[in-house]
Amino acid sequence: MSEFSAGPYLPDKPDVITVYSENGKLSQLQDVVFSYDNGKLEISAKDTPLSFLRVRWNFPIAPKTLFCGDAWERTYGDSQWRTFDPGRMMPWYFFAHLPDGRTGCCGVRVRPACFAAWSADPTGVTLWCDIRCGGRGVILNGRSLVVAQIESSVYDGCTAFKAAGKFCARLCPDPIFPPTPVYGSNNWYYAYGNITEESVLEDCRYLADLTAGLSCRPFMVMDDGWQELRYDNSPNYGPWDKGNKHFPDMPHLAEKMKNFGVRPGIWYRPLYLHDPALKRELFLRNMPDTLDPSHPEVAELVARDISRFREWGFELIKHDFTTFDTVGRYAFDMHPWPCENGWAFFDRSRTSAEILTGLFRTIRNAAGPVLIMGCNTIGHLAAGLQELSRTGDDTSGKRWERTCKMGVNTVAFRSCQHRTFFDMDADCVGITGSIPWKYNRQWAELVAASGSSLFISPQPGILSAAENDELKHLLAIASKGKIAAEPLDWMDNLRPEHWVIHGKEHYFQWEEIDGGEPDFLP
């Protein structure tokens, strides 16, 4: 039993397990066999198309208990502690702050064969497991499927924040981390795809100046805009085998970037490819440019892309949109499940979760020593297969309200996954002149103190000499990667303002004096 753990939160065995096929709840199991043994949930069937499992534990939960769950992929500024809401589905895991100060935790280990979500009410806890293939039942053909390994614990003598981190470490017994702290620059939040080789090299020069003398060298991540078919107002799809006219020689560019003393990184979108010559069965549903990750030939295409970037000389690959391109939705449109009904992947014998995990494993295996950062990935399926994860939705180089909403929330509520699942990237500090430096400086200070990856996105020439000096100091802190921040008001505030940083209480002023411009303005 780990430090501070006072035993399990859930009873040893569930009170009822219900099996659902594609046609509804099964009253007769027919060819279906399921079992639950020491937290391992397993099921098999020959021909029945299986859709869901419902697992229920009946036990009284104390009044005034607060609950905090995870998110399907990134957070969207809405993670929070809440009171009882039996209709609220909490993906992957949840924490329960008990009236006596202890913290109860329930979850499934990383890389389950399902999309797992929890609900809680005063009389017990329910786990729902979506084992569909897309939006139809999976056909196992007699295969035995380990749906999930269920874990629970109660922690005493530590804060809920520390308990959350301890429990996440329990959910991921085999994480992989970068050998040194990852930080640096990404050009998206000032250039927004309007980039050239010359602008990338100028970004490298600027980053090298800001980090001069630091032994841990920064990454310069070249984001969207380099690929052959990228141009104004066009989709950001591949092919990914060459650059456009502004990027004539990708291996030579990576070499030039290294000559500045920075480490080259590259962005790409694995499943979005415009190639009319490819056969139709490689693509999803009625989406002509979105590849089906369950098809073995698609896995080969992805592996070739990743190997190519490695051979070009890039040392970090940021892959994006894997959730949206697989299920057709962002997390804020999943009510409550990722996939809508009525469609299936090419390989009907695997669950959606297995298919996505297979994609992440393909990327990992092809990357070799290159670091992998997932953006819009399902972190619970990618943990142990990528070193870094973008844990929140996009910040902004134009609107402080968006950075404040998305960034601060994910640092507070997803830090439990930092150095337990992977290294966390809470997204960039966009420096364009549109956001006053006094706000961006606070955001950079929090990210650096949290130990997560501090990526800046600075338009050259925007900051004054004094502001550049402040940024140099924050990058130096980030280069050490020390975890030194804990939110104190996260149970009352979606954007915590009161933190302990390096052992001292610290207050941030996130809100603009006039209230700022809301994120929903066009």
- Rounded CA-CA distance 155/1 in Å is 11
In this structure, are residues 94 and 69 in contact, taking their beta carbons and an 8 Å threshold?
A: yes
pLDDT reading at 1 higher than 60: no
Q: What confidence score (pLDDT) does residue 242 get?
A: 96
Cα-to-chain-centroid distance, residue 298: 22
Cα-to-chain-centroid distance, residue 404: 18
Average pLDDT estimate for 328-334: 94
Position 501, amino acid: I
Angstrom CA distances, 364 to 319, 369, 459, stand at 11, 9, 32
Average pLDDT estimate for 374-398: 98
Dihedral sign computed on CA atoms, order 483, 485, 490, 495: negative
pLDDT reading at 478 higher than 70: yes
pLDDT digits (tens, 9 = 90+) for 275-312: 999 999 999 987 889 999 999 999 999 999 999 999 99
pLDDT digits (tens, 9 = 90+) for 197-217: 999 999 999 999 999 999 999
pLDDT reading at 520 higher than 60: no
- Rounded CA-CA distance 251/246 in Å is 14
- Rounded CA-CA distance 300/294 in Å is 11
Measured in degrees and rounded to the nearest 5, phi and psi for residue 69 equal -105, 180
Q: Which of 232, 218, 225, 234 is nearest to 200 (CA)?
A: 225
Token pair in block for residue 342: 């009525």
Q: What confidence score (pLDDT) does residue 190 get?
A: 97
pLDDT digits (tens, 9 = 90+) for 488-507: 999 999 999 999 999 999 99
pLDDT reading at 47 higher than 80: yes
Average pLDDT estimate for 105-116: 98
Token pair in block for residue 218: 């920064």
Position 97, amino acid: H
**Angle 243-247-248 from CA coordinates, rounded to 5°:** 85
Average pLDDT estimate for 4-29: 93
Q: What confidence score (pLDDT) does residue 107 get?
A: 98
Q: pTM of the entire structure?
A: 0.96
**Angle 61-64-70 from CA coordinates, rounded to 5°:** 75
Angstrom CA distances, 430 to 363, 427, 457, 514, 518, stand at 28, 9, 5, 21, 17
Q: What confidence score (pLDDT) does residue 5 get?
A: 78
pLDDT digits (tens, 9 = 90+) for 221-280: 999 999 999 876 678 999 999 999 999 999 999 999 999 999 999 999 999 999 999 999
Full set of structural domains in the chain with CATH: 16-171 (no CATH), 184-483 (3.20.20.70)
- Rounded CA-CA distance 467/463 in Å is 6
pLDDT digits (tens, 9 = 90+) for 72-104: 999 999 999 999 999 999 999 999 999 999 999
